[in-house]
Amino acid sequence: MRSTNFILAGLTLVAQLAWAAPTTDPAELKSPRPGFVPGYLQAGTWVDSLALLPPPPSAGSAAQLADDAAYQASRKLKDSARWVQAEKDAVLAFPKAAEVFQCALGVGISAEATPHLNMLLRRTLADAGLATYKAKDFYKRQRPFMAASDAICTPHEEASLRKDGSYPSGHAALGWAWGLVLTEVAPERANAVVQRARDFGQSRTVCGVHWQSDVDAGQLVASAVVAQLHGVADFNEQLALARKEVAAARAGGSAPACP
């Protein structure tokens, strides 16, 4: 019996030593470009957005007329508080991007306070955003502000946006992916988190840089990506560790300053 217990204890120790938590250090991941980290999915294994999505609305179609109407309605928001929020939602660089869902989640998000949650958002950003590019690059849909020669909420990005296809929206995809993941981290905050994810996507129409159908398509891609991520061990492990961080933050009374 003692021999058996000794062997089991040894096997347990080996398993513990072999297991390592997913990294929270960006330096340990090969960055695709400064300020960003790679996702959990291997390059080229992302959801096929071109196969998943229908073509964008064609000129003169009922769907394009609906897009036109939504765009014209969004022009009334220029320089409003909602316009300012849309400008803030356009920022994807961390640590600033980590603040997007803090108030909806009720917990501060940072590399210092919640390192696994922070990395979960950084890596899912890459997976959801990159998954949109097969369709983006194929359709090369013109963005609404280009045809109308209107102002956008992030004029410093105008040159790069002109070169990047509009359909589907990468921002809407990653924002929706964040919302879905965070509802698993904190299901008790699902209503607020999902609403924030929706508003994050709608910020792209407010800015005038995406059609409504771009946003809707981006969210569909995100749903498929998050389902795909559940088959990746590192994602599942980091998700579980993020849950523990959020629970600990709540137990400690930590909360972000929100309006």
Say if CB 30 and CB 38 are below 8 A apart: yes
What is the Cα–Cα distance from 170 to 126, expressed in whole angstroms? 10
Q: Is 210 a catalytic residue?
A: yes
| C-alpha dihedral (9, 10, 12, 13), degrees to nearest 10 | 120
Q: Which of 89, 199, 214, 216 is catalytic?
A: 214
User: What is d(CA 259, CA 242) in angstroms, rounded to the nearest whole number?
Assistant: 25
* Residue 230 annotated in active site: no
Check 116, 123, 189, 204 and give the catalytic one. 204
Question: Rounded to whole angstroms, how far apart are CA atoms 156 and 228?
Answer: 34
Q: How far apart are CA 209 and CA 219, in angstroms?
A: 16
As separate numbers, helices (DSSP H) first and strands (DSSP E) second, the chain gives 13, 0
R_g over Cα of the chain: 21
Q: Is the peptide bond before 168 cis (omega within 30 degrees of 0)?
A: yes
Region of 117 (left: φ > 0; alpha: ψ -120 to 50; beta: rest) is alpha
Residue 150 CB neighbour total at 10 angstroms: 13
Q: Is 137 a catalytic residue?
A: no
Residue 253 structure tokens: 């009374």
**What is the 8-class DSSP label of residue 157?**
G
Examine the residue annotation and report whether 214 is marked as an active-site residue of this protein.
yes
- Of 122, 143, 171, 189, which is the active-site residue? 171
Considering the candidates 122, 141, 196, 210, report the single residue annotated as catalytic.
210
What residues are labeled active site?
Answer: 171, 204, 210, 214
